[in-house]
Structure 1
Amino acid sequence: MKDVHTPDPTFDRNGLFKSGPEAAFDEITTLAAILCATPMAVISLLDEQRQWFKSRVGVAVEGTPRDIAFCGLTVERMALTIISDAGLHPRFAGNPLVTGPPYIRFYAGAPLVMSDGTAIGSLAVLDTVPRTLCAEQQQALEVLSRQVVAQIELRSHVQRLADVLRDLSHSEELLRLSHRELELRVSERTSELIELNARLASEIDRHSSEARSSQAIIDSLPGIFYLYDRMGRFLRWNRNFEMITGYTAEEIRQLQPLDFFATEQEKELVDQRIGRAFTHGSASVEADLLTKGGKRIPYLFTGIRIEFNGQQCISGMGVDITERRSAEESLRLRNRAIQASVNAIIITDLEGNIEYANPAFERMTGYSIRETLGRNCRFLQAGDRNQAGIAAIRQAIADREESSALLRNYRKDGEMFWNDVHIAPVRDQHDEVTHFVGVLNDISAIKHYEYELERHANVDALTALANRNVLKDRIRQSIATAERHREWVAVGFMDLDNFKFINDSLGHTVGDELLKQVAKRLQACLREQDTVARYGGDEFAFVISGEKDEKTAVTLMSRILRTVELPFLVEGHKLFVSCSIGLSFFPKDGGDVDTLLKNADAAMFRAKEKGRNNFQFYTPAMNQRVTERLTLESRLRQALLRNEFVLHYQPKVDLKSGRIVGLEALLRWRPSNGEMVPPSTFIPLAEETGLIVPIGEWVLYTACAHNRLMLQAGVQSLQVAVNISARQFNTETLVHMVKDALDSTGLDSSLLELELTESLVMQNPEEAIGLLAQLKDMGLRLAIDDFGTGYSSLSHLQRFPVDRLKIDQSFVRDIGADPNDAIIARAVISLGHSLGMSVIAEGVSNYEQLAFLRENGCDEMQGFLFSMPLPVDELISLLRSNPTLAMH
């Protein structure tokens, strides 16, 4: 490396140092501060003792001792030098420029390297806070430093040229004086003339040589050179001027400086700067040089006022700045892209201290840029350092490599956000890693979406219980544990009894809320190590593990039954439900998940068959029953299409006259390829599967049609009673269905009676009252079936527009044997009459029952004592014979 004080033959260094600060350099210094976003920038020159500032922005001092100058390190290195935090730098930590004004904490300097290879100073930017420069800013600083060198060397060349031109001007004067002397002495002696001509020839030859030498110097200058007077006439130029502009020498003599610019705005600007150069001695301007061919080339033009041939002229140079403009535009574009990026971008030193952050970082984290600069990136983890991603990033920094990681970071307000971070090393011109750039992407929304997907995959959306996927996994895990410890695993299936009735009659909103409350009760009944899941619909399942026998399961199932049958309060409705539970055990009932679930399901169906509100353990015979049930359901679905249903009618008899006063339509199923299926077998299945709705509609239409047929056959007019299922008891559909059945068959509405169970109307009394009123307004008769088995409230019962109560046959059956049944039957009769309703007893099969009913004032009866249910043709024959109940 050449010593900073080695004489430079290209310019007068002492003159440069002695001239002090110059405004001509301020544009470059200001541009450097703007591009690098720093409050300070300087052009420094070093001599043996001091650092001089040829230009300064934001710096009050004019110079410093050499030994504390940051510029000294740049000159020593002969390369771009960046000190991210001078307070931590071993050479500058105690520097008075750091500890005192201007309190420099950041320094970036590009050396001023002359064409002979010597470094005379630097172009530097400074800041009072630790930071760094991005790659584009570093490049811009180096480009501007070369512009400083070009301007310095241009001044040297121009000065030398001015000296040559002054000598040339003096020589031309001498030459002109020689010609005049020749004219004055033309008449003198020939010998003297010969001697003068010889001298003149020698002078001409000498000055022609000097002229050629000066033009050679001009042609050797970089860029374009020009010399023009106050009139704008070009007096000198170099060969580059002709080559670049495309004009010949003769054409240039006819042009003026402003002719080389295209727009009026540029011409006005250049004209102002020419005036400034004549007034203040120098000026510079950036504008597009217009060539003869119309091409426009970005140039930096400089001009210095000189004396030439006894007049003031401007001597200057133009430097093509196309490359610099491109670099600056690229830098601006990149800076704008970084500033506008939705991703946070930071630049750190090798220790992870932040030297740059873009606005997106501020938006993402809540920390201002000022709060961020100088801090280590780890502050974003807020103490949450036990993350695998942090170790990966730390290793990448140590290895000077790229890396990506997923981190939990924390905003200024403490909110955690997921951060997808990618870091990459930044290398200098020597391929040394000096910094790291990091791109931070807030993926909290994506992580939340993934969480929701996982949650939906594992958690029931309605009840927040585990779903069937998690249930199966827990069973699988429990089996593996039980095998190691020789324990039992109980798998339970639970189904709510009568839930479909509540869901259909009160709506899905009430049904959903009921399921959520049931879920909470189940969780409260089971232990922490047990799992309860919603399997689907109103079915729940659970896993009980860690037990040696069945005792714990029995205790927990009994607790569930007691808890579930307690009343639920849902949207003002007091609801009563029960549940049926089936249990299977590993290892005795199965060794895998699917087998245990299938067997628990079979046991649950057995619990329903045994009257519901109980639990059953699995036995091998249950699978046969389940298979039979599935087969029956499949056949039942085809029964309507195959016209396998028939109606039988059981007469209703007046207990005073003994005569038939009405009929009840009863559904029977006679498969085309089998025996009659008992109603007790298929009707509960139809209720459970929902098939009762289309079947019930068929019953209503058929009963009305048969009654109309009997009238046409000439038999007496009788009311026909049709049972309405809970699934049919819907305000939106039942009224329409009844009206359509009456209209399509032509049956008078007074001949139709609808029977509804006590439990049905009491589930939602207020809604039931409204629906019953609509039916009553149509002219129908209404009856409450199975009275005495539900939870009727007298306050509601007296508001129901009901014509009759029907005593359930369970109370009639044991009237002679069970005093309690007789008391209930007597009370129902008394209650019905007090409310203005008639009372009918069903299932009367002997005279003892008949005598009791007549004695206690019951109005009507039906049962085997008088007649079994009959097909319609046999019923017509019976009605024509006009039989009467025998009174004993």
Structure 2
Amino acid sequence: MDNNIILSIINNLSGVLFTSKFIFKNRSLIIDSLNFFDNSKDKAIGGFSDKRLVENNLFVENIFPDDRDELIEKILSMGAGESLKYEFRFKTSEENYIWLRLNITVVAKDEKSVEISGLVEPISKEKNLDTILYTIKEINRLAIKIDREDELLQALCDLLVDKLGYAGAFLGYIDSNKLFRLKFFAKNIPEVLVDNFKKVTISVDEKIPEGRGTVGNAYRSGNIFLISDTLKSELMSPWAIYHKKFGIRSACSIPLFKGNKVEFILIIYSRTPDLFSEEYMGILDEIKVDISFALEKIDKERNIKLLSEAMEESPEWFLIADETGTILHVNKAVEKISGYSADEIIGNKLSMFISDFYPENLYNELIDKISKGERCECEVVRQSKDKSVFYLDTIFIPVFFDNKVYRFVELSRDITKEKLQQEKISELTRLYVTLSDINQLIVRADSIRDLYQMMNEILVKDAGFSIVYFTVIDDENKLKLYNFYYQEDDFSTQYRDFLKFIEESYKEEFYVLIEKGFVSALSIKNKEISYYNDLITSSKTEEIKERFKGFIFLNACAAIPIFKNNKVIGSIVCCSAKKDFFTPDIIKLLNEIGSDISFALGKIEMERFNAMTSTALNSGSDFVMITDKNFKIVYVNDNTEKIFGYARDELIGKHHSIISSRSQSLGFARRFYRTIRSGQKFSDFFVYRSKDGEKIYSYTTITPFLIRGEVRFYVAVGKDITQAKSLEDSLQRLKDYDPLTGLLNRNKFIENADEFLSIAKYEKKLASVCIINPIGFSSINQAYGFYTGDLILCEIANRIRKTIREYDLIGKLESDMFVILLEDIATLEDVLNIISKLNLVLEKPYDTPKKKEILVSFNFGVSFFPNDGENAQLLVERANIGLGSIKSNKDKRIGFYKKDFEQSARIKLDLKSKLEKAIINKEFILYYQPIFSIKDKSIVGAEALLRWKSDGQIILPMNFIPVLEEMGRIMDVEKFVVDSVCSKLKDWEKKEKKMIPISVNLSERSFKDESFRRYVIYTIRKYGIHRGMFSVELVERTFVEDFERCLIILKKFSREGVFIYLDDFGTGFSSFNYLYKLKFDSLKIDKSFLSNIEKDIRAKSIVESIIFLNKRLNLKTVAEGVETLDQLKILEELGCEYVQGFLLAKPMPEEEFEELIRTT
């Protein structure tokens, strides 16, 4: 052959021609030389030149180990002239493996070496193609073999790695956050590779780099996406570290579909570059289609299996037949509904179920339609094995093969119960319409005859009865045909014959009719509905049976008993042409009809009675009013309009209080409502008010009207006694009142005063009786006449009335003296204030008819309840004694029954006056008593103590604090204390003096007053007092009432940094409940426990227990009133933390306290 031709062939070879010499060494080969043909100089093997491949035996060392060992064995076994073709894997200069095919011939061989020549050509693409085709074959095998989705997908991953040699196979889905979630991976992938894969982020969101890789592109496009070289692709840069770490060089993502939706993404990794390329896309796409098909196939087979099981167990009729109607398959429901077994049904025609109600020609038409491919929906009537009829709501669905109907499916729902129920409903509906019409008739009917006539007509026309008649039982206990109605049709003659038969039969005795089984007689006797659903078979005598056979319209009948005043007066007989007409539901409705008719009879009777009653009520002189249970007026008679002045329309629907005068006492109202609501009658004198405001006096009886044991109405019948009451009042006034002044006379005053005092005694209230005596009034009568004297007495009465409180009692005693009862006084001293005020008013000048002014002076006699007596008579007498005690003393105007009270009262009044001035003049000052640490005797705090500096004397708080509380001025003084302490604390801070926490004592009233609490917090904030520098001391009784409110106040103080001391612990109402719940900071042991602590073991034990308890509750303990060294020593032994008392320091003025702080 021409050399040029040979050279051209060589140049077009895909591989590299070479000659090489290998040296044998320990059953291995060491390359000694390698020469590419001249025309192959620009070529290389795996990116290496011929010279590079010789270095370090690189050609041999880069062959995949398993392939290298096999190749060496084959070369060692070859002789000169022998040839070999071998495929192996070779590591390239880029550290990945490629497939090569070696075609060699041994040129020479001796004991030490071998020379070969041949051709090396790359076959990776060929191998890849083989791998992919093998993959398709294996996937198809898996799809046929496996019928579970999870098993298929796991097997697919294992196949790709175990049998096809891919570096990795991962399969997952895309979650709602557009992230790839791993679900399956090959079991034999190294664990480290899987763990690292789980840590990387793979998304399908195109907006982020992690969403632009193979997975994201495959998911969005629905197509396979390849990357031939992962290390060179910009799209794969987010995972470059992972790919480099595990030698991943090419990647492929395959979207797997279910229906039209990407359900999974399959990721395949290879360590060989260019393993996935566009030229394999068609084959790879076939893999995608095959796997997606397998997934859908599994889904379909599972659904078919589920559907098959469901249809087999379904309670609905399911049948498969061929195009001729021959039955091929039935489910259990067909067997159950029809009564046939499957073996009895299969092979028979569908016509085996035809009933007499469904003609055969209709069946043939149906089969003909289905065989033409028409879908049919209809209701069919069929016959079961026991010849009973059943109803089916059916769909016939044709199934096609080669465009021809070769099967059809019958799906049916058993509607037998529904059809029967519809018939019942139809009958019931007619009866409900009947019931409605009868109810309307009850409203309209105003006579019994009209009621019977129209009711019989309704029962025939609406309910569909053939004939209805009403039977009554007379005084001789015989039945009579009272009223009837029948249909106007072809049986009219028979109806009339039947009624004649009934009239003739009713001539017999009642008991005979019962024996013969007449339903009209049975219903009256048994007081319940009697009925026959088959008259012929139910007839008790042959005579009756033969007689009824002649009446075609009569197959069933029922009699409804009718009651009037709880007594059976007759029955309504309803006849029907239909057997078995009277079902339980229909009997129930007939009972309602009977009840309604009985009610109507009672209603008509009641309306007659009401008409007569109304005539009687309106002809009398009494008023009658009826209200419902909520006291809204529903009826009034004519006299009610006349007496109260309201028209009937103005009263109906209004509450009965429209005529109330609201002058009855609360006790009267309670007694009234309690009585009538319990169902009892109530009678008493009432005071009403007419439309024009006039009072109407009446003796009224209210009677509750009960229905089924429940009060539904109230009937009030009243007699107008206004004129008689007016006369009685005039007489009573003359008896009870002073005719001149209109004030209560002595007897009535004492009577009314005793009523109050009986209540005051129970409620522990204070009161006072005061007699007012104008001095020398007889001289006024003598000088100016009795007319002027009477005028002045009336003016005195008027001034007293205007000056005292509205609820205080005032009366006129004999001659010219007056008497008052001062109710609900706070303190006995307050009486002096009231009398002083009253005296100022009374001693003002009085005008005479002749325009002259007269001055009158007064004396007052006073007694107190309960100190001086517990009844009005005694108190008046003792007030008179007090009055008599001062008549000879011109300098005294007020006389008390008990003389010592006058002195104490005047002292207290004087003290109150001075205290008022002290508040205005700011005469109160603060002393401070230090609190010491028991360990080192250092000052840790102080208590601010109130003092009153009056006329150069220091008055202790025990002498004025109770009076301030009584005056209601304690909060004003305690505000001064709070402001003074806060001001002093701020002053010490400014002057950089030693800061000592100060506590102040608060009264219960101030502590619980919301405005006072706000003032304290405002003052603390105003001066900027640091937390814990201002404390409040409270005694135990503060928390006895309004516990929850106290808890809230303490929390508010605590939030502001106010510390809380519980003062005088153990002397009041000590309770673990409030000690636990109320968050105190410190607790002070009262000094009463310390006075005997050295000698009394019980006192010592109590103190020890209190200290122990405080420590458990994390409270600081302060012992008050420490006066001896022995007390101090014992307290230190018991673990007390702080002490306060005269032993260490007495209360001292502000200057001394500051000096003590400075020098301590």
Q: What is the TM-score with the length of structure 2 in the denominator? A: 0.27
Larger radius of gyration: 2
Q: What is the TM-score with the length of structure 1 in the denominator? A: 0.35
Between 1 and 2, higher relative CO (CA 8 Å, sep ≥ 6) is seen in: 1
